[in-house]
Amino acid sequence: MYAIVKTGGKQYKVTEGLIFETELLNAEVDSTVELEVVLAADENKVFVGNDATSVKVQATVVEHGKGKKINIFTYKAKKNIRKRQGHRQPYTKLKVTSITVA
């Protein structure tokens, strides 16, 4: 069984046991969070719309961290104007523990 969940403004295809990174969530490490289900499917049936609300996806927070550094460099030719900026996107790593149909 797999499900399409929505978190952090993005959608992810998840299966049981999958570990994936998403936008930073306000949750403690080793706590359980419930993800919003958009679509779910198994061998026999597809759950979409109101049927998808009966599907529950539980995930455990594995860790919080920062992603790889992105360097932004802007300049204007012949003007001696240069600007360097860096950014590291914070993330939450989740492990899907269960996908159940109520």
Encode the chain (102 residues) as per-residue pLDDT tens digits.
999 999 999 999 999 999 999 999 999 999 999 999 999 999 999 999 999 999 999 999 999 999 999 999 999 999 999 999 999 999 999 999 999 998
User: What is the structure's pLDDT at 102?
Assistant: 84
Is 94 in contact with 27 (CB distance < 8 Å)? no
> Residue 38, class by beta-carbon neighbours within 10 Å (0-12 exposed, 13-18 middle, 19+ buried)?
middle
Q: In degrees, to the nearest 5, what angle opens at C-alpha 72 toward C-alphas 67 and 73?
A: 155
User: What is the structure's pLDDT at 8?
Assistant: 92
User: What is the structure's pLDDT at 95?
Assistant: 98
Best CA proximity match to 12, nearest among 33, 32, 30, 39: 39
